[in-house]
Amino acid sequence: MFLIQVVITVLLVAGGVAAMAVQTARDAVQQGRRESVVAAQSFASAPGTAAALRGRDPTAVLQPRAEAARARTGLDFVVVLNTRGIRLTYPYPQEIGKKFVGTIGPALRGHTVVEQAGGPPLPAGGGTAVQAVVPVTDARGTVVGLVSAGLTVRNVAALWLPQLPIILGSGAVALALSVTGTTLVARRLRRQTHGLAPAELAQLYEHHDAVLHAVREGVLITDGDGRLLLANDEATRLLGLPAEVRGRPVPELGLPESITRLLTSPDPVTDEVHLAGDRLLAVNKRLAYPRAGRGGSVVTLRDTTELAALTGRAEVARERLKLLYAAGVRIGTTLDVGRTARELADVAAPDFADLVTVDLLDAVLRGWEPTAEGWRRLSRAAIAGARPMVPVYPLGEVITFSARAPQMRALQARRVVLEADLRQAHGWREQHPEHTRRALEHGVRALLTVPLRARNVQLGVVNFYRTADSPAFEPEDLTFAEELAARAAVAIDNARRFTREHAMAVTLQRNLLPRGQPDQDALEVAWRYLPAESGVGGDWFDVIPLPGARVALVMGDVVGHGLHAAATMGRLRTAVHNFATLDLPVDEVLGNLDDLVVRMDNEDDTEDAGAAREGEGVTGATCLYAVYDPVAGACTMARAGHPEPVVVHPDGTAGCPGVPASAPLGLGGYPFETVELSLPEGSRIVLHTDGLVEDRRHDIDVGMERLRRALDGSGGRTPEETCQAVIDALKPSPSRDDIALLVARTRRFPPSRVAEWDVPSDPAVVPSVRARCRETLRRWGLEETGFATELIVSELVTNAIRYGSPPVGVRLLYGRCLICEVSDGSGTSPRLRRAATTDEGGRGLFLVAQCAQRWGTRYTAHGKVIWAEQLLDGGASAATGHAPVDFLLDQFDDLDDLDA
């Protein structure tokens, strides 16, 4: 030890001297660089330097100045160079005119160069010089010469040699102190160890420690002041002593009162039995140092509760069986993944663990099939137990576990991971150092992480925490935790599969329902769709624009739930769209829909009887179909087994319009009755499905009455506000059926935007019809659409007079688009064809199709109406860009047909 101290002291002294020498040399060089740059820049910027360099004899002017500057600054040289690097000044005149030793390229480009270089002799002696080279520029910034200033690097030993005695003296004092300390410590050790060698002392300690902690009796040693000096492992286990007990007073150890009194008493004890927790201990006590008279005692403890321990294990086994039974009853009561996770946590805490957390893969919560790529991201799904005490990740937070975390190890290994002492669990502590530190401060000591795995699919992990006040995890606890997690995992996987199916059905249904409102002038519409919590149904609705600025409202409900109901709903909705495109009357739309449902059920009946089916057919589906005409302010409705709509008048009064009830779809052969209502502008038509008004607790009539009360006084609300108010007032909790709600506020076409007149059955009146049409468009400010509109009206009126029957009428509607309608009393439908070049006619409907955005035919009780729509963009028809005049005129060989 003494030699080591000498070597260390010498090394420290040598290192200090070397560091001082190096630092002094570095400081001298740095100072020389700064002084050289300052001196060179000052001389280069001095007045007259640039002019002298351009003079006839620069040396005669600059040599005296350079030597004067060298004397003032204390530098070894100040040299002026021309741009070729030839010295113009130098301390020794014989060196003038020679090539400068150093780098001048950067200085010629306007930069400052600082370097170390050798050169000719100087007054201060030879050697390496620290020199700076700076440019000399004239008024225009042109480099006309260079200035170099510097000094030689002198021997720096003189700077640090005066401090060498101080360093050596300090080293000598440190060495003397270390020798003195070593001598004193060696004497004390010899006295304390009774002259034993270190190897003998180590062997003696090892034997003593092995015997002390190997015996199956607890050993305690206390001193005369009642402080605990030693406790072997068995005593620590029997009394539940904390880890650090040496030197602590016995009353502060938290032992039972009888044990504390026995340890602090000076009286000896022989085979006394004391109760310590659930253990019966046989205690013996003797004086520790009877000859030395120092006080203190030695206490031995022997556990006599083996029979009680066996009884306790049986009791624990019974409690575990009861807990597993409770898990089977309480876990999986619903098909909700989050609630099932909470049930698992509630069952396990606090009977099995003080704190239980359940972390599920994000894909499981969404109902998806989990993959190994998503194992690092788990969501906190449930917390139970000592939550207010222990800091943990909050519910819903997405946690990214590290590869060393117990949770990731359990998922990857597919087995239980036990961290018996979290203070030594580095993977757990590095996951979130702040949380884990605070958790340890709150007494959390052990963690049992069990993977949740069902049907060979990893779902997540459940974490069981125990605090220092609870017993450690035993091997039986690991088996129980695996069994508990296995039962819960099956319930969670069932809920995940249901969630996936539910999400698929909801996605399918939402994709089949309207995503946005169509452009139309008749109604202001808002809707709500709320899927059932237990499964998606077949509720659907639609808003379909019809010719003549009319709008169809549809509300339907397919029996059953799940994907079958959602797919059937999509088929029915598509069918209604097709029937509406044909512009069939309301009762015929429902009749055709009824025939379709009958055919669909017949197709299902022909399927394999053993095939699994989600529903029992489509029969029983309901539908309400309504068509609103904003010009007449009339609404025609019919319903097939569907709940009756509610009409809210502008004054806020709500009531059912009395739409006759007809049979549900699929029964076949039953007629559908219609009703026509005259609705003032601002009325609200409220369509809904039975999920809004029907509940197990009361009849549907009660629900309808509640709906009317919710709508009373809502005359000033917008459709959006009305929807929200109805949902807030009537939505059941939980929702066992789908809810669809549609609110439409009526609008009326202003009379100023409607023009109609009767046309005599005479082809000679066609020019007057065009003139009247032209005047109407001028009044509406739509002159730019005049040509196309006159052409459409002319052709349709001509066809109605030639091929139709009286009465013939013309109607123009000006809204989002310009609608031209020509009616006649014939039921024959016109047919679009492409005329040959030699044909004299047959181009009329072709021209109409070219000029209009859409056209078609609808039938009325007294004949038919041929209509054509033109989109308006700033008053111009969008169709005119696609049908130029030249193109239209090219379709004719003879223009006389236009005037016919």
Q: In terms of Cα–Cα distance, which of 745, 728, 737, 672 is closest to 700?
A: 737
Hey, is 687 helix, strand or coil?
A: strand
Dihedral over alpha carbons 365, 369, 371, 375 (to 10 degrees): 10
Average pLDDT over residues 103-130: 77
pLDDT of residue 742: 94
Residue 538 token pair: 């077949």
State the Cα–Cα distance between residues 739 and 566, nearest whole angstrom.
Answer: 14
Query: In sequence order, which residues have a C-beta less than 8 Å from that of residue 838 and are 6 or more positions away?
Result: none
Question: Is the confidence at residue 608, as pLDDT, over 70?
Answer: no
Q: Which amino acid is at 129?
A: A
pTM of the predicted protein model: 0.52
Cβ contact 648:711 at 8 Å? yes
Residue 88 C-alpha from the chain's centroid: 75
Name the H helices within 388-425: 406-413
Hey, is 418 helix, strand or coil?
A: strand
Hey, is 373 helix, strand or coil?
A: helix
Q: In terms of Cα–Cα distance, which of 540, 736, 548 is closest to 623?
A: 540
Cβ contact 103:133 at 8 Å? yes
Dihedral over alpha carbons 373, 376, 379, 384 (to 10 degrees): 130
Angle among Cα 840, 843, 847 to the nearest 5 degrees reads 150
The conformation of residue 686, written as its DSSP 8-state character, comes to E
Residue 617 token pair: 């057919």
Please report, rounded to a whole number, the percentage of residues in the chain having pLDDT higher than 70: 84
State the Cα–Cα distance between residues 521 and 747, nearest whole angstrom.
Answer: 7
Q: Which residue has the higher pLDDT, 23 or 811?
A: 811
Angle among Cα 547, 551, 555 to the nearest 5 degrees reads 135
Question: Is the confidence at residue 554, as pLDDT, over 90?
Answer: yes
377-385 and 523-530 strand pairing? unpaired
Question: Is the confidence at residue 134, as pLDDT, over 70?
Answer: yes
Q: Which amino acid is at 441?
A: E
pLDDT of residue 892: 44
Residue 204 token pair: 């003696």
634-640 and 684-688 strand pairing? unpaired
Query: What are the tens digits of pLDDT across the range 257-315?
Result: 888 888 878 788 887 877 777 777 888 888 776 555 566 788 888 877 664 455 556 56
pLDDT of residue 878: 38
854-860 and 863-873 strand pairing? antiparallel
CA-based diameter of the chain, in Å? 147
Banded model confidence at residue 885, pLDDT cuts 50, 70, 90: very low
What residues does 814 pair with on adjacent strands? 818
Question: Is the confidence at residue 534, as pLDDT, over 90?
Answer: no
State the Cα–Cα distance between residues 218 and 302, nearest whole angstrom.
Answer: 6
Please report, rounded to a whole number, the percentage of residues in the chain having pLDDT higher than 90: 15
Banded model confidence at residue 763, pLDDT cuts 50, 70, 90: confident
pLDDT of residue 899: 36
State the Cα–Cα distance between residues 160 and 606, nearest whole angstrom.
Answer: 110
Residue 76 token pair: 């070894």
Query: What are the tens digits of pLDDT across the range 736-746?
Result: 788 899 999 99
Banded model confidence at residue 524, pLDDT cuts 50, 70, 90: very high
pLDDT of residue 293: 55
3-class SS letters over 206-218: HHHHHHHHHCCCE
* Highest-confidence segment of 92-101, 389-398, 837-846, 870-879: 92-101
pLDDT of residue 761: 86
Question: Is the confidence at residue 236, as pLDDT, over 70?
Answer: yes
Which of 266-275, 673-682, 701-710 comes out lowest in average pLDDT?
A: 266-275
Instruction: Look over the chain and give the mean of its residue pLDDT values, rounded to a whole number.
Output: 81
- Peptide bond between residue 394 and the one before it cis (omega within 30 degrees of 0): no
Average pLDDT over residues 416-435: 87
Question: Is the confidence at residue 584, as pLDDT, over 70?
Answer: yes
Q: Which residue has the higher pLDDT, 310 or 10?
A: 10
- Burial (CB < 10 A; 0-12, 13-18, 19+), residue 457, is middle
> Can you give the length of the chain in residues?
900
Question: Is the confidence at residue 32, as pLDDT, over 90?
Answer: no
The conformation of residue 617, written as its DSSP 8-state character, comes to -
State the Cα–Cα distance between residues 123 and 114, nearest whole angstrom.
Answer: 21
State the Cα–Cα distance between residues 323 and 344, nearest whole angstrom.
Answer: 11
Query: In sequence order, which residues have a C-beta less than 8 Å from that of residue 743 and are 6 or more positions away?
Result: 525, 526, 527, 684, 685, 686, 687, 719, 722, 723, 726
pLDDT of residue 67: 86
Q: Which residue has the higher pLDDT, 195 or 381?
A: 381
Count of CB atoms within 10 A of residue 547's CB? 19
Average pLDDT over residues 214-239: 79
Average pLDDT over residues 235-253: 79
HSE (side-chain half, CA atoms, 13 Å) at 302: 10
State the Cα–Cα distance between residues 271 and 273, nearest whole angstrom.
Answer: 6
